[in-house]
Amino acid sequence: MNRDRILVIGGLSLVGAWLAWSIWDAYRPQPIVLQGQIEAQEYSVSSKVPGRIGELLVRRGDPVEIDQLMFRIDSPEIAAKLEQAEGTEQAAGAAARAAAAGARAQEVEAARDQWQTAKAAEELARKSFDRMDKLFEDGVVAEQRRDEVFAQYQAAQYTERAAYQVYSMALEGARSETIDAAEGQARAASGLVAEVEAAAADTEIRSQYSGEVANVFLRAGELAPQGFPVVTVMDTTDIWAIFQVREDFLARLPKGQRIQLRIPALGDDLHPFTVTYISVMGDFATWRSTSASEGYDLRTFEVEARPVDDIPGARVGMTALLEL
């Protein structure tokens, strides 16, 4: 009899304990679970010059490293411009060298000979005038004839001086302003060649980042406009979690706060994150009832948290859970 009473009392005690736990569990504060997702840094790879894609060397899902060749652009226009620029550079360089070198030795010698010839003619005209002037004083020739010989003598003097100036310029060479102008044109032509060569180098597009190819928008043979993204690269090592947090929860997530997130796709382990960003302006509003007769809107703010350590296997779009 005592044994039955003990069993009954024990059963009632278990039922009471279960009822008490059920009531406590039903009315205890439930944890707040915020759901976000994993994001990663994405880069667009494009060409600075328009053209047709000659070769595409990557596909979606391929890993890429920094400076890895991703695609080539065929641009006959750049090749033609480069040839034109190189021709201009050669012509400008030759003109600058010619200006700096001055007249050739043969040109200087020819100018000297012309001067000597004019000098001899001037000497002969002077002697002829001296004889004619003496004959005029003796009354042998008319004044008209004397004046004609004097005019020839003056013309010979002008011719001699002009020939001497030509000879002096040949000796001196080009003016400094002419040399500077020629050298400036040569530098401008060299700059044009460098500009076209830089454009030609940009026809081989290399990755500036390491990561994984997320999308390929164009194929070989298609036209790629200037600046149009041909490939996008996702840096899976630069990830973060984004949450849309109601404003009444923001006090629990200050900037710099260490939090623990669970990524269901990677198991039940908790991963430490740090709150790094809270949007300065609320986004959309969520209506919340405060009593049976009234309520108000609560703004939602974007909160960003970055992992403390690397998380192998984390990918963009995975769910991240935060329990407050």
Could you tell me if 156 and 179 lie in one domain?
A: yes
Judged against a pLDDT cut of 60, whether residue 294 lies above it is answered with no
Indicate whether 4 belongs to any domain. no
- 304 and 238 belong to one structural domain: yes
Which is higher by pLDDT, 171 or 264?
264
Candidate ranges 6-10, 198-202, 314-318; pick with highest mean pLDDT: 314-318
Token readout for 306 is 């970055």
Q: Count the domains in the chain.
A: 2
Average pLDDT, the chain: 80
Higher-confidence residue of 140 and 117: namely 117
Residue 161 and residue 58 share a domain: no
Q: pLDDT for 63-79, tens place per residue?
A: 999 999 999 988 777 77
Q: What is the pLDDT of residue 284?
A: 60
pTM over 0.75: no
Residue 13 lies in a domain: no
What pLDDT is recorded for position 69? 92
Measure the CA dihedral 56/62/66/68, to 10°.
-30
* Judgement on whether residues 282 and 265 belong to the same structural domain of the protein: yes
Does residue 85 sit in the same domain as residue 193?
Answer: yes
Give pLDDT, residue 121: 80
Label residue 192 by pLDDT band (50, 70, 90). confident
Which helix H or strand E contains 178, and what residues bound it? Answer: helix 176-201
Q: Residue 197 corresponds to which amino acid?
A: E
In this structure, the answer to whether residues 170 and 237 fall within a common structural domain is no
In a domain, 262, yes or no: yes
- Give the pLDDT band (50/70/90) at residue 242: very high
The residue that leads in pLDDT, 150 or 27, is: 150
Instruction: Look up residue 251 and give its two tokens.
Output: 């006090």
Mean pLDDT of 41-49: 89
Contact present, 45 and 64 (Cβ < 8 Å): no
Least confident interval from 16-20, 49-53, 96-100? 96-100
d(CA 39, CA 276) in angstroms, rounded, equals: 14
Give a yes or no: residue 158 inside a domain: yes
Under a CB-based contact definition with an 8 Å cutoff, are residues 126 and 175 in contact? no
Take residue 22 and report the two structure tokens written for it: 């059920």
Taking the CA atoms of the chain, what radius of gyration do you get in angstroms? 47
* pLDDT at residue 97, as a whole number: 64
* Full domain range(s) for residue 299: 28-73+211-323
What pLDDT score does 240 carry?
95
Residue 306, pLDDT > 90, answer: yes
pLDDT, tens digit (0-9, with 9 covering 90-100), for 131-177: 877 877 777 777 787 777 778 878 878 888 887 777 676 656 555 55
Give mean pLDDT, residues 247-261. 91
Q: Is the pLDDT of residue 288 over 80?
A: no
